[in-house]
Amino acid sequence: MTSAHKTLGIVGARGHTGAELIRLVAAHPALELVFVSSRELDGQRVADHVAGYAGELRYASLDADAVAAQGADVVVLALPNSKAAPYVEAIDKAKPDTLILDLSADYRFDSTWYYGLPELTREKWRGEKKISNPGCYATAIQLSIAPLKDLLAAPPVCFGVSGYSGAGTTPSDKNDPEKLRDNLMPYSLTGHTHEKEASRHLGVPVEFMPHVAPHFRGLTVTTNLYLARKMTREEVMQRFHHAYDAEPLVHVVDEAPWVSAVAGRHHVDIGGFTLSADGKRVVVVATLDNLLKGAATQALQNINRAIGVDELTAIPTTP
């Protein structure tokens, strides 16, 4: 694939992450949005549903063969978990050099797919045309632990709180604003997919306890790390600065970041580095927008790289 203009389609474009990608792709100089699929919005104008999109494209209800028949250069699968395989199969049959990016958890444990968390894995990309995008919590967890990975005395313990857009649009307790009002809902307290995903890709076991809260977008992961030796706050911060100062989408900050400040923005904030009195335990706080760096923005970083343009093309960065 060269860096020339590419066509792109989104399967599952009615959803939260699909809508964010539509906005990002619409402003992209090298990508043309050629189809967006939704069963529920079949025939309706995208511009009537996605603020900030001004084109004439309409949603279409497309099964796997119909998606493959579109012949797009890039296909993003933004479907719920366990739905991707028929689309991958049909595209492979019709046009095997298609770049497929899957937003779900379906291929995050498949070593034939590139796992794209650019700040940690971009050097491992070997031109794969199949890219698995990380989970939103798993992104925050891995970025919080990676700089101290060689100094762990025990599995890191991560306390996560997400806005309810993380639970998608299929109605459930986890995205019901009435049930979430004045509430914090714990779920999957051991064995969450993102616990397994972060453990696999970091190569160290991680423990994760997720919760969902009444805000719409943005998540916080507060991680407790037991250290094999005594450290100072300056040493810990130095490691994070060394790891991320050249990364426009990871901001190392002094204070513990607030989720409200990162909502609608494309980067991760990591900060609040707090040591125990004996210097052998540190707590780190990370926030990101689950729909952006946790999904659509990260997807675009991966696609940009794979089509041969600058990784940050069409991604607004702010200091």
Ligand X SMILES: CC(=O)N[C@@H](CCC(=O)OP(=O)(O)O)C(=O)O
How many residues of this chain bind ligand X (CB under 6 A)? 13
Contact 180, 164 (CB under 8 A): yes
At residue 204, φ and ψ (nearest 5 deg) are: -135, 145
Region binding ligand X by CB under 6 A among candidate stretches 29-37, 83-91, 160-168, 233-241: 160-168
Q: Choosing from 136, 219, 225, 256, which is the catalytic residue?
A: 136
Nearer to ligand NDP, 15 or 147 (CB): 15
- Whose CB is nearest to ligand X? 166
At residue 8, φ and ψ (nearest 5 deg) are: -140, 140
Contacts 24+ apart (CB under 8 A), 195-201: 196/109, 197/105, 197/108, 197/109, 197/134, 197/135, 197/138, 198/137, 198/138, 198/141, 198/142, 198/145, 198/158, 200/108, 200/109, 201/108, 201/115, 201/117, 201/120, 201/121, 201/134, 201/138, 201/142
- Whose CB is nearest to ligand NDP? 15
Q: Which of 195, 194, 161, 193 is nearest to 180 (CA)?
A: 161
Residues of this chain, 43-82, that bind ligand X according to CB under 6 A: 81
Q: Should residue 302 be labelled a site residue for ligand X when binding is judged by CB under 6 A?
A: no
Q: Should residue 142 be labelled a site residue for ligand X when binding is judged by CB under 6 A?
A: no
Residues that bind ligand NDP (CB under 6 A): 12-18, 38-41, 78-81, 83, 103-104, 135-136, 165-166, 168-170, 290-291, 294-295
Q: Does residue 158 carry a catalytic annotation?
A: no
| 174 interface partner picked from ligand X, ligand NDP, none, CB below 5 to 8 A per type | ligand X
At residue 85, φ and ψ (nearest 5 deg) are: -50, -50
| 251 interface partner picked from ligand NDP, ligand X, none, CB below 5 to 8 A per type | none
For ligand X, the binding residue among 26, 62, 99, 105 (CB under 6 A) is 105
Q: Should residue 104 be labelled a site residue for ligand X when binding is judged by CB under 6 A?
A: yes
Least Å from the CB of residue 202 to ligand X: 16
Active-site annotation, residues: 136
Positions that interact with ligand X (CB under 6 A): 81, 104-105, 135-136, 162, 166-167, 174, 193-194, 210, 212
